């Protein structure tokens, strides 16, 4: 199977390479010829290969192999995957409004969206799904449960769950409805005159949601603003233009796109009257800030309209367009690169020049070009957006990451909330007592999880190497003792990394209690980047100095 896949990928690549250097007439002829060869090859394989083959599967593999040689954003969307793609791009579907996930062999509710049917019916974070409309879902893939929860609006679905602290199971009859997931997941004052907005998506309506949030915050007394775009993967380019247009005059260019087709060469300018041209604005960025998020952050940086605080952004300067294919399939294809007002393209990875092994790398520093903002501040292309004020994210160790990915922190938060049903009155000051944390530390020792740190893997390799050689008993004994110490450290991870794990556990508990609002209230009081942005906005002389040319 592997060799067949390789041959099909090579054929697909050969088609691409051949077409790249041909005239239009030659290309059309080569397309027809290559497709004829491909169809004949598939027919021969299907008829004469020694074992039975699945032609559709082979074709899907060949399509995947061909598109993998382009970039990660160009994708084939089959009819079967069209609904999932639509939900991803529009944020809309019909169901109960709950996110489910697989943790420690259980399918659990990880987020019943506030205001939607599941939440209103009484479904809690951490509830384990037992059955849906009488169909057993324990041990089944998450996708199966998600599909059963979705359906036509106004139809009923019976959901049976198990909740820690409750005897037996709980049953909820929930009426499905159209679900539109909000782009703005939090808004509020973090000081008497500093508004904070967390924007997680760029699906349709994002611009309107941000405008409404700003209006409400200003009515509450906000005179300065923090827009949190950390880990926002982007989405609609049009919504990026709408959001940037809230802060710069009507008719100003936000982004332009340039591609091979003349249809891809467009300039997008603000269409609506701005909401506020002068409010001091800081945008929080991270390595996960990408695409439409970078258009907003980059355009406002280019107009010297906002300061970026955080980390260098991801660097996705590519634009995708969806094209229809036969039989209700679709192609999401990269059609252009985008350029922000200073003229720079912030695409960081060079997909056009792959290495001989097919891998890609970032553009070299030597090819980066200097550009200037409207006031003359220096900015650069080909590497994402550099923040005006760099603020490192709080990194966690491999061991702590392993505990998080194991789902144990989520699991224990469900247990804690089941045992402590009284909701905290102030999420910002919530803190686990020493007794409560030690109870968690004792519990985690009894739980098995698969994470093995890199140092333990190295010790295993060293031990195997030592055991393979003769007269090496002393070394084997030493390495064995080292491995035992490493295992013991993993066993005591809750004590060794108490500060980090306690904070993550508290954050998960307040999410269980208060959903996103509770989690954000807790985070705002402790988040280093938010605190730094708050401090800078309290010193407007320094803020405006950073926006000027040194």
pLDDT digits (tens, 9 = 90+) for 217-269: 999 999 999 999 999 999 999 999 999 999 999 999 999 999 988 888 999 99
Phi, psi angle pair for 422, to nearest 5°: -75, 120
Which pTM does this prediction carry? 0.85
Specify the DSSP class assigned to residue 422. S
Of 279-288, 336-345, 482-491, the poorest mean pLDDT is in: 482-491
Active-site residue among 316, 388, 502, 503? 316
Q: Residue 209's pLDDT is what?
A: 97
Let me know: does 138 contact 130? Beta carbons within 8 Å: yes
Task: Using pLDDT thresholds of 50, 70 and 90, give the confidence band for residue 490.
Answer: low
Let me know: does 148 contact 157? Beta carbons within 8 Å: yes
Considering the domain architecture, whether residues 140 and 37 belong to the same structural domain is answered as no
Q: Residue 487's pLDDT is what?
A: 58
Which of 505, 531, 533 lies closest to 519, judged by CA? 505
546 in a domain, yes or no?
no
Quickly count: other Cβ atoms within 10 Å of residue 437's Cβ. Answer: 18
173 in a domain, yes or no?
yes
CA–CA distance from 289 to each of 247, 310, 316, 514 (Å)?
19, 10, 9, 26
Task: Return the axis-axis angle of helices 498-524 and 408-419, rounded to nearest 10°.
Answer: 70
Strand partners, 94: 178
- 292-329: pLDDT as tens digits: 999 999 999 999 999 999 999 999 999 999 999 998 88
Query: Of 369, 393, 417, which residue sits at a domain end?
Result: 393
Considering the domain architecture, whether residues 407 and 514 belong to the same structural domain is answered as yes
Q: For residues 124-138, b (16+ Cβ closer than 10 Å) or e, as one string?
A: bbbbbbbbbeeeebe
- The percent of residues above 90 in pLDDT, for the chain, comes to 63
Which residue would you say has higher pLDDT here, 362 or 9?
362
Considering the domain architecture, whether residues 492 and 507 belong to the same structural domain is answered as yes
Considering the domain architecture, whether residues 116 and 62 belong to the same structural domain is answered as no
Q: Residue 502's pLDDT is what?
A: 96
Distance CA 367, CA 454 (A): 35
Active-site residue among 127, 228, 302, 388? 302
Query: Of 375, 393, 411, which residue sits at a domain end?
Result: 393
Supply the CATH number for residue 152's domain: 2.30.42.10
* Average pLDDT of every residue of the chain: 88
Considering the domain architecture, whether residues 520 and 377 belong to the same structural domain is answered as no
Which of 546, 511, 324, 543 lies closest to 430, judged by CA? 511
178: annotated active-site residue: no
Considering the domain architecture, whether residues 452 and 367 belong to the same structural domain is answered as no
Considering the domain architecture, whether residues 312 and 371 belong to the same structural domain is answered as yes
423 in a domain, yes or no?
yes
| Domain tally, the chain | 4
550 in a domain, yes or no?
no
Active-site residue among 291, 293, 299, 414? 291
SS3 content of the chain, % helix, strand, coil (to 5): 45, 20, 35
541 in a domain, yes or no?
no
Considering the domain architecture, whether residues 309 and 412 belong to the same structural domain is answered as no
291: annotated active-site residue: yes
Let me know: does 235 contact 89? Beta carbons within 8 Å: yes
Let me know: does 240 contact 183? Beta carbons within 8 Å: no
Considering the domain architecture, whether residues 342 and 196 belong to the same structural domain is answered as yes
Considering the domain architecture, whether residues 428 and 279 belong to the same structural domain is answered as no
Q: Residue 455's pLDDT is what?
A: 56
Query: Of 371, 393, 415, which residue sits at a domain end?
Result: 393
Strand partners, 253: 269
Let me know: does 149 contact 157? Beta carbons within 8 Å: yes
Structural domain harbouring 407: 398-532
254 in a domain, yes or no?
yes
440 in a domain, yes or no?
yes
Is the pLDDT confidence value at 333 over 70?
A: yes
191: annotated active-site residue: no
Q: Residue 123's pLDDT is what?
A: 97
Let me know: does 524 contact 196? Beta carbons within 8 Å: yes
547 in a domain, yes or no?
no
- 134-187: pLDDT as tens digits: 999 988 888 899 999 999 999 999 999 999 989 999 999 999 999 999 999 999
Which of 248, 235, 336 lies closest to 295, judged by CA? 235
């Amino acid at each position: 199977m592997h060799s067949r896949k390789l041959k099909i990928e090579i054929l697909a690549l050969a088609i691409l390479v051949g077409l790249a250097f041909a005239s239009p007439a030659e290309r059309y002829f080569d397309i027809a010829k290559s497709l004829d060869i491909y169809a004949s090859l598939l027919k021969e394989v299907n008829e004469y290969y020694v074992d039975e083959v699945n032609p559709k599967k082979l074709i899907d593999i060949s399509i995947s192999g061909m598109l993998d040689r382009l970039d990660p954003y160009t994708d084939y969307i089959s009819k079967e995957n069209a609904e999932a793609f639509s939900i991803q791009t529009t944020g809309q579907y019909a169901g109960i409004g709950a996110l489910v996930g697989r943790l420690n062999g259980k399918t659990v509710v990880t987020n019943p969206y506030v205001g939607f049917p599941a939440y209103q019916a009484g479904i809690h974070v951490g509830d384990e799904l037992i059955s849906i409309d009488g169909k057993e879902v324990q041990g089944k893939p998450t996708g199966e449960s998600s599909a059963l929860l979705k359906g036509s609006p106004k139809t009923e679905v019976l959901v049976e769950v198990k909740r820690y602290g409750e005897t037996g199971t709980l049953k909820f009859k929930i009426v499905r409805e159209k679900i539109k997931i909000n782009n703005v997941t939090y808004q509020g004052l973090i000081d008497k005159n500093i508004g904070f907005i967390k924007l997680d998506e760029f699906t349709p309506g994002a611009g309107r949601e941000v405008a409404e949030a700003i209006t409400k915050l200003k009515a509450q007394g906000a005179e300065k603003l923090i827009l949190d775009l950390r880990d926002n993967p982007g989405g609609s380019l049009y919504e990026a233009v709408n959001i940037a247009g809230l802060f710069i005059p009507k008719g100003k260019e936000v982004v332009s796109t340039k591609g091979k087709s003349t249809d891809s060469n467009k300039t997008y300018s603000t269409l609506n009257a701005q909401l506020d041209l002068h409010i001091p604005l800081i945008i929080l960025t991270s390595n996960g800030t990408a695409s439409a998020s970078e258009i907003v952050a980059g355009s406002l940086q280019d107009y010297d309209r906002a300061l970026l605080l955080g980390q260098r952004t991801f660097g996705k300067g590519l634009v995708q367009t969806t094209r229809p294919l036969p039989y209700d399939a679709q192609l999401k294809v990269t059609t252009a690169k985008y350029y922000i007002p200073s003229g720079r393209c912030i695409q960081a990875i060079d997909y056009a020049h792959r290495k001989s092994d097919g891998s890609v790398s970032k553009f070299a520093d030597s090819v980066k070009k200097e550009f200037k903002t409207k006031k003359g501040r220096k900015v650069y292309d080909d590497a994402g957006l550099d923040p005006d004020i760099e603020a490192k994210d709080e990194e966690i160790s491999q061991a702590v990451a392993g505990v998080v990915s194991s789902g144990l922190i989520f699991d224990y938060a469900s247990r804690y909330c089941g045992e402590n049903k009284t909701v905290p009155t102030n999420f910002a000051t919530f803190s686990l007592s020493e007794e409560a944390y030690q109870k968690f530390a004792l519990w985690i020792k009894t739980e098995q999880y698969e994470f093995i740190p890199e140092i333990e893997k190295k010790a295993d390799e060293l031990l195997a190497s030592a055991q393979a050689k003769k007269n090496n008993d002393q070394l084997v004994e030493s390495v064995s003792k080292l491995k035992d110490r490493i295992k013991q450290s993993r066993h005591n991870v809750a004590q060794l990394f108490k500060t980090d794990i306690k904070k993550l556990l508290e954050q998960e508990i307040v999410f269980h209690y208060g959903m996103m609002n509770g989690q954000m209230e807790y985070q705002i009081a402790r988040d280093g980047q938010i605190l730094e942005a708050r401090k800078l906005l309290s010193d407007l002389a320094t803020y405006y100095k950073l926006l000027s040319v040194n």
